[in-house]
């Protein structure tokens, strides 16, 4: 009973202490706000009203009156950088770094902002030097992320791998997919320079980093084909189906060419038809259509395209259907079919794009690395119209 009474008596006391603390906080806030220059509130008001030019003028005036105001330097530098005035942003942050009495945490902050300025201006060497100086500070993780971006821009894939591993070890999340892509880039370079034996160990590393890497599997098949091992290449490319059925469209032409090379084109057509049943794709249909036309004739090719159009009705499919109908159309209707085909084809050119799932950047060709947002593996292996139909 005494214990409960003490609790009852304590409740008003807790409320009283809370009221006193709130009053102290309010008084402190009012006191601090009075010490801020009027230009700060004017600049803030201009920012809220979407008037960055006037905000900059207000913050410049504050910095002129009080050169020690570090926060104003940061605000002013960020505003300059956002407006694309990177030279002015660089000067602001360099001016801040020239102060010998600048505390260590604010010096690191200024270094980081200066690195951002250099990065925005495209001065990658200076940006790299700046970020390297931050690796032993509280901005180490941010600096490593920026260094990773720089190495990717400069296509320094070995250094990008090292930076990605360092980020992982710093607890900044998994980078395995990116690491696999960097190894694929190195392997691709080796293939381009006709060094397939150098490419294979790199692709092994890619698959160790990411067992689901479709690109690494495709490139292993390319290496085997470059070495004349067509049967091994076919077996490797067929593994793409196990990793991602939609991505089989990316190896369809390779498979068909490989089966022709080993003298079993009918087997290739049969395989690709089975893929088409699993994953409808205009790119896959294109490869199968040409193969069926060559091996089975016009009627079989027309039947293939008609069945696919009924199964997945798209304008891209209609375009291919009209092309098939024109193959043996009577001369009396060929002109009309050609007119309709040209109209449909003109429109489908806008739909026959790959689209990044992160930033929406559209491209005629498939990319592993988005040119718009620089993300990896953000392009679905289907055209935009097909994705819309599926959704």
Q: Residue 184 annotated as binding?
A: no
Q: Residue 356 annotated as binding?
A: yes
Residue reference for tokens 């193969």:
291
Residue 273, exposed/middle/buried by CB under 10 A (0-12, 13-18, 19+)? middle
Q: Of 73, 74, 44, 77, which Cα lies nearest the Cα of 58?
A: 44
Residues in the chain: 391
3-state secondary structure of 348: helix
Residue 223, exposed/middle/buried by CB under 10 A (0-12, 13-18, 19+)? buried
Q: At CA 266, angle to CA 263 and CA 270, rounded to 5? A: 135
Alpha-carbon distance of 119 to 358, in angstroms, equals 22
Alpha-carbon distance of 191 to 161, in angstroms, equals 19
Alpha-carbon distance of 252 to 292, in angstroms, equals 13
Alpha-carbon distance of 174 to 340, in angstroms, equals 51
Strands (E), 73-138: none
Residue 214 contacts residue 223 (beta carbons within 8 Å): no
Residue 148 contacts residue 155 (beta carbons within 8 Å): no
Q: Residue 370 annotated as binding?
A: yes
Residue 146 contacts residue 127 (beta carbons within 8 Å): yes
Residue 126, exposed/middle/buried by CB under 10 A (0-12, 13-18, 19+)? middle
3-state secondary structure of 43: helix
3-state secondary structure of 360: coil
Annotated binding-site residues for Fe cation read: 356, 359, 370, 373
**Binding site residue list:** 356, 359, 370, 373
């Amino acid at each position: 009973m005494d214990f409960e009474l003490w609790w009852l008596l304590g409740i008003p006391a807790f409320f009283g202490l809370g009221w006193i603390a709130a009053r102290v906080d309010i008084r402190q806030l009012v006191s601090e706000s009075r010490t801020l220059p009027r230009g700060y509130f004017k600049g803030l008001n201009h920012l809220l009203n979407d008037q960055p030019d006037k905000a900059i003028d207000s913050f410049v005036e504050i910095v002129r009156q009080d050169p020690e105001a570090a926060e104003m330097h940061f605000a002013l530098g960020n505003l300059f950088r956002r407006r694309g005035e990177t030279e002015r942003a660089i000067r602001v942050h360099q001016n801040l770094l020239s102060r010998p009495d600048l505390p260590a945490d604010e010096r690191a902050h200024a270094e980081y902002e200066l690195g951002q300025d250099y990065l925005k201006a495209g001065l990658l060497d200076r940006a790299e030097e700046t970020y390297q100086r931050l690796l032993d500070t509280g901005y180490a993780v941010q600096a490593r992320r920026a260094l990773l971006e720089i190495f990717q821009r400069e296509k320094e894939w070995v250094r990008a791998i090292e930076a990605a591993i360092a980020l992982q070890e710093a607890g900044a999340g998994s980078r395995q997919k990116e690491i696999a892509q960097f190894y694929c880039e190195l392997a691709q370079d080796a293939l381009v320079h006709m060094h397939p034996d150098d490419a294979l160990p790199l692709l092994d590393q890619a698959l160790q980093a990411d067992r689901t890497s479709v690109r690494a599997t495709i490139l292993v098949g390319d290496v085997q084909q470059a070495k004349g091992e067509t049967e091994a290449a076919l077996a490797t490319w067929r593994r793409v189906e196990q990793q991602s059925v939609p991505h089989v469209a990316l190896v369809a032409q390779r498979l068909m060419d490989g089966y022709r090379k080993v003298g079993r084109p009918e087997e290739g057509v049969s395989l690709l038809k089975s893929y088409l049943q699993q994953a409808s794709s205009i790119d896959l249909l294109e490869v199968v259509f040409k193969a069926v036309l060559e091996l089975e004739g016009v009627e079989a090719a027309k039947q293939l395209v008609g069945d696919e159009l009924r199964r997945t009705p798209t304008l891209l499919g209609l375009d291919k259907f009209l092309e098939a109908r024109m193959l043996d159309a009577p001369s009396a209707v060929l002109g009309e079919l050609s007119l309709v085909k040209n109209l449909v084809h003109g429109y489908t050119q806008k739909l026959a794009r790959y689209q990044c799932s992160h930033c929406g950047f559209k491209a005629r060709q498939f990319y592993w690395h988005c040119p718009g947002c620089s993300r990896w593996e953000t392009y679905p292996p289907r055209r935009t119209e097909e994705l819309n139909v599926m959704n």
